[in-house]
Chains A and B, each alone.
Chain A
């Protein structure tokens, strides 16, 4: 356990590697992380307790930590403190003392303390506290054997704190808490006497920080840096993605001729030759996104920049019930919703993370920004297109607000929304090995888990869009589509656009291809959806035939419906994998589909009045 920024998760990840299990604490929307490692033939289970500044039970996180330790489920508690801010972070130890359980103390960030020329007498501290004290640098990957050795030794013969703060006024009133905490800091001061010096010199903002914390320039700087981080993430993942993209094309020919040679049913042939390679491609691209985003954001978080971004945007985002940090995933959302969804890992708690993901879904991603101008251009001309884009941006803000109002009540209840009180950690040097390793672990984790989900969803879509002869009229989707057209008409969508709307939930890039298949009758629906990125749709032909078939209001309604539909299946899967909650992912997804249809209906009927 430890305070935020103490490096708790780093130690946890380094100890357990990929042997982790993530779940929720019973009845709470707080993530529970369990993992294990084996040392000298013994298996050790490690639980990463939620980070908090104290243990006074003011939040779910603090209650969970206290209850867990009190219950005796942990044989040994490993407390992390920041060696570079020893006096302040020792507060956790002072709070822990009341629980009277065996513990060891890790003085983390010794590297930062050293650069600040701080000397810490760990031996003296050990004597004062009565528990082992280990100077440590979690992020550089060394010293873990020593840590494991210490933990095994202590589990054999555990130590408890030999000294504790005197209890002041008891009770839960504000006065009692204030006097108690003063007693705790007095105890800390006494314990640290002679162990280290607390610097008292004047604090000066670095030149960079003076810009980073200024009201206007700081915001611009933050936006710029997040944008740069996104570009870096893209640069990392695009090469992987373009290699992955070749998989469907490379595998299609050989597999289909092989299976056809074996006289396998054509339906199965196309499942194996077309769908499965695509599933592999989708999942790989997803994983590469997760890798790129985690790399870029892991870096920003580790060097301490994210805290500045949180400081800058707390005011705006608190209106949505979100912490300032949410600015990063929200901006990432413009590039890719998957990126946004995994970017929410930086949020402090599960509720915030889920809410941020729900809000990020409202941000139109890069792929849909590629579709909007094409379709809009066919109907509204260049100036009209600009207006459409503007309208979409305005509605985006409204949608984010609606989402935060509807889901915020549950995910970020009023009483848990408190104003920002947070530390801005000093800038650290980045430990690249550690960042790379974590990004890789996370990407691998997503890849492993998402393969199944993507296969399942693909299969469902596949069954609906399969047609024996390749023509669209024979697919189940066509039959269902035309059957329910009277209903979808009400929402302003004909069967073709409704079909494209449904496929936009599969992959946003598919929209153009599906429209092409539906309107021009060129190419099968399957090829259009699965080879969306590779098979170029004939936009000129599409424009002619679309303009003849559908009206301007329908086109506008369609644009809005597609843009604010649920994100693509990869983003959906990522959200599910990141939130570990099928219930919430489904709930938000249904809400989005419903909203998109209602929106289409409203846009259609209003636009019909003017256009």
Chain B
């Protein structure tokens, strides 16, 4: 499922990241790589998705969050 479909407090692992090279390097530089454990903290309509991973609270805009496939635990 996509990161945008997760609910608050759901936890899981990042499964796949699609998109161009520019996006790939931006998203990995902030710490989101395939296999990273994450927890969705907040996912409100029209707002960036808030995820917690690698001890950091990260806001990812919805368009980019669509490109992140996750596996929920």
Binding site for B on A (CB under 8 A): 52-54, 56, 58, 84-88, 91, 95, 172-174, 176-178, 181-182, 185, 198-200, 202-203, 205, 213-215, 311, 314-315, 418-426
Task: State whether A85 touches B55 (Cβ < 8 A).
Answer: yes
How many Å from the CB of A92 to the closest CB on chain B?
8
Task: State whether B33 touches A174 (Cβ < 8 A).
Answer: no
**Docked complex Cα distance between A178 and B16 (Å):** 10
Q: Out of A84, A177, A423, which one reaches B30, CB within 8 Å? A: A423
Q: Give every chain A residue within 8 A of B62 (Cβ-Cβ).
A: 419
Residue interface bits B44-73, CB-to-A below 8 A is 1, else 0:
111110101011111111111000000000
Q: Out of A54, A198, A315, A423, which one reaches B57, CB within 8 Å? A: A423
Task: State whether B26 touches A53 (Cβ < 8 A).
Answer: yes
Q: Give every chain A residue within 8 A of B19 (Cβ-Cβ).
A: 174
Q: Give every chain B residue within 8 A of A311 (Cβ-Cβ).
A: 47-48, 50, 59
Task: State whether A178 touches B59 (Cβ < 8 A).
Answer: no
Q: Say yes or no: is B25 at the interface (Cβ < 8 Å to chain A).
A: yes
Task: State whether B42 touches A174 (Cβ < 8 A).
Answer: no
Task: State whether B55 touches A88 (Cβ < 8 A).
Answer: yes
Q: Out of A91, A177, A198, which one reaches B21, CB within 8 Å? A: A177
| Contact size range, B | 35 or more
**Docked complex Cα distance between A87 and B47 (Å):** 27
**Docked complex Cα distance between A178 and B15 (Å):** 12
In the complex, the chain B residue whose C-beta lies closest to that of A185 is: B33
Given contacts A177-B21, A214-B44, A421-B59, contact A88 B39 (CB under 8 A): no
Given contacts A88-B56, A178-B17, contact A314 B25 (CB under 8 A): no
Task: State whether A420 touches B52 (Cβ < 8 A).
Answer: no
Q: Give every chain B residue within 8 A of A315 (Cβ-Cβ).
A: 46-47
**Chain A-chain B contacts (Cβ-Cβ < 8 Å), number:** 122
Given contacts A200-B37, A213-B50, A215-B47, contact A91 B29 (CB under 8 A): yes
Task: State whether B33 touches A182 (Cβ < 8 A).
Answer: yes
Task: State whether B25 touches A87 (Cβ < 8 A).
Answer: no
Binding site for A on B (CB under 8 A): 9, 11, 17-31, 33-37, 39, 41-42, 44-48, 50, 52, 54-64
Task: State whether B29 touches A56 (Cβ < 8 A).
Answer: yes
Task: State whether A420 touches B59 (Cβ < 8 A).
Answer: yes
**Docked complex Cα distance between A54 and B33 (Å):** 14
**Docked complex Cα distance between A132 and B41 (Å):** 37
Task: State whether A420 touches B61 (Cβ < 8 A).
Answer: yes
Given contacts A182-B34, A420-B61, contact A202 B39 (CB under 8 A): yes
In the complex, the chain A residue whose C-beta lies closest to that of B18 is: A174
Q: Please, could you name 18 A-B residue pairs with CB atoms under 8 Å apart, sorted by A?
A: A52-B29, A58-B26, A172-B21, A174-B19, A174-B24, A176-B21, A177-B21, A185-B33, A185-B36, A200-B37, A202-B11, A203-B52, A419-B60, A420-B48, A421-B58, A421-B60, A423-B57, A424-B58
Task: State whether B31 touches A198 (Cβ < 8 A).
Answer: no
Q: Give every chain A residue within 8 A of B27 (Cβ-Cβ).
A: 421
Which one of B27, B35, B41 has the greatest number of beta carbons of chain A within 10 Å?
A: B41
Task: State whether A87 touches B39 (Cβ < 8 A).
Answer: no
**Docked complex Cα distance between A198 and B56 (Å):** 11
How many Å from the CB of A165 to the closest CB on chain B?
12
**Docked complex Cα distance between A311 and B42 (Å):** 12
Q: Give every chain A residue within 8 A of B48 (Cβ-Cβ).
A: 311, 314, 420
Q: Out of B17, B18, B24, B39, which one reaches A203, CB within 8 Å? A: B39
Q: Give every chain B residue within 8 A of A176 (Cβ-Cβ).
A: 21
Task: State whether A87 touches B61 (Cβ < 8 A).
Answer: no
Q: A88-B31, A172-B21, A421-B60 are in contact. List 20 more A-B contacts (CB 8 A).
A: A52-B29, A53-B26, A53-B30, A54-B25, A58-B22, A87-B31, A91-B29, A91-B31, A174-B21, A174-B23, A178-B34, A181-B29, A202-B11, A314-B59, A315-B47, A418-B26, A420-B61, A421-B26, A424-B50, A424-B58
In the complex, the chain B residue whose C-beta lies closest to that of A176 is: B21
Q: Give every chain B residue within 8 A of A85 (Cβ-Cβ).
A: 54-56
Q: Give every chain A residue within 8 A of B44 (Cβ-Cβ).
A: 214-215
How many Å from the CB of B62 to the closest CB on chain A?
8
Task: State whether B23 touches A54 (Cβ < 8 A).
Answer: no
Q: Give every chain A residue within 8 A of B26 (Cβ-Cβ).
A: 53-54, 58, 418, 421
Task: State whether A87 touches B55 (Cβ < 8 A).
Answer: yes
In the complex, the chain A residue whose C-beta lies closest to that of B40 is: A203
Q: Which 8 A-B pairs have the closest CB atoms?
A: A54-B29, A419-B61, A181-B28, A53-B29, A203-B52, A88-B54, A88-B31, A56-B25
**Docked complex Cα distance between A314 and B58 (Å):** 14
How many Å from the CB of B50 to the closest CB on chain A?
6
Q: Give every chain B residue within 8 A of A203 (Cβ-Cβ).
A: 39, 41, 52, 57
Task: State whether B54 touches A198 (Cβ < 8 A).
Answer: yes
How many Å from the CB of A8 to the closest CB on chain B?
16
**Docked complex Cα distance between A177 and B25 (Å):** 6
Given contacts A200-B37, A419-B63, contact A424 B25 (CB under 8 A): no
Q: Give every chain A residue within 8 A of B23 (Cβ-Cβ).
A: 174, 418
Q: Out of B21, B25, B46, B54, which one reaches A215, CB within 8 Å? A: B46
**Docked complex Cα distance between A423 and B55 (Å):** 10
**Docked complex Cα distance between A445 and B46 (Å):** 41
Which one of A178, A214, A215, A420 has the greatest number of beta carbons of chain B within 10 Å?
A: A178
Q: Out of A173, A205, A314, A423, which one reaches B56, CB within 8 Å? A: A423
How many Å from the CB of B33 to the closest CB on chain A?
5
How many Å from the CB of B4 to the closest CB on chain A?
12
**Docked complex Cα distance between A432 and B44 (Å):** 35
